[in-house]
């Protein structure tokens, strides 16, 4: 209460400006400087929460909430970075650093959801990371080169006809059936046109 009273008092005296609230939508901002300012604001919030999540006195429920909040802020940061790019600013996703933990490794996560600090030690999360690791303790990763070794002409469908001619024979029979149906439908329409002419 004392903090709120002093803040209100400093605003009244003109010593301190009231804190601006960040716009809910990044698209509401029209200047590059303002978009950059709000991006920096989000980064400060992320930094503050990441340092708080290492606190050993916090219960598991607060750790989960903090981790959820950090991931939400990361999505907000992406929106602001997109807006900065739209307004002619730099592409921070290309030039910005990757998310790394205090040991210098990239922050682990699953499908875009990241785990920070003590959140990695929560029940359920620990098991998730153990499943992702192989016997040597290294995370399994298919490197791009390894994936490209598996890609050949068959992957792109170029050898579909190399099945002994079964596919081509099936296509020919289906094609013949459709041609016959179209001919009979065309002949039927010609007969009905002739009968209409006779009735007149």
Structure confidence at residue 139 (pLDDT): 44
Query: 43-47, 88-92, 112-116, 195-199: which range is least confident on average?
Result: 195-199
The answer to whether 137 touches 130, Cβ cutoff 8 Å, is: no
**Best CA proximity match to 56, nearest among 119, 145, 131:** 119
pLDDT per residue over 67-99, tens digit each?
899 999 989 998 999 999 999 988 888 876 666
pLDDT per residue over 38-71, tens digit each?
899 999 998 899 888 888 888 888 888 898 999 9
Predicted structure pTM score: 0.53
pLDDT per residue over 4-14, tens digit each?
787 777 777 76
Structure confidence at residue 135 (pLDDT): 47
């Amino acid at each position: 209460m004392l903090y709120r009273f002093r803040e209100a008092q400093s605003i009244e005296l003109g010593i301190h400006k009231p804190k601006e609230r960040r716009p809910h939508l990044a698209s509401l901002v029209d200047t590059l400087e303002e978009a950059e300012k709000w991006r920096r604001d989000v980064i400060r919030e992320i930094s503050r929460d990441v340092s708080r999540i290492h606190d050993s006195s916090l219960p598991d429920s607060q750790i989960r909430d903090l981790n959820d909040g950090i991931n939400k802020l990361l999505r907000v940061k992406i929106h602001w970075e997109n807006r900065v790019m739209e307004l002619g600013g730099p592409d921070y996703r290309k030039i910005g650093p990757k998310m790394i933990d205090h040991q210098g490794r990239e922050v682990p996560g699953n499908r875009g959801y990241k785990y920070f600090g003590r959140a990695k030690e929560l029940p359920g999360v620990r098991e998730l990371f153990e499943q992702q690791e192989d016997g040597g303790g290294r995370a399994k990763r298919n490197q791009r080169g390894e994936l490209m070794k598996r890609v050949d002409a068959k992957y792109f469908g170029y050898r579909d006809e190399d099945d002994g001619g079964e596919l081509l024979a099936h296509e020919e029979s289906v094609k013949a059936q459709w041609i016959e149906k179209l001919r009979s439908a065309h002949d039927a329409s010609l007969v009905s046109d002739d009968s209409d002419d006779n009735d007149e």
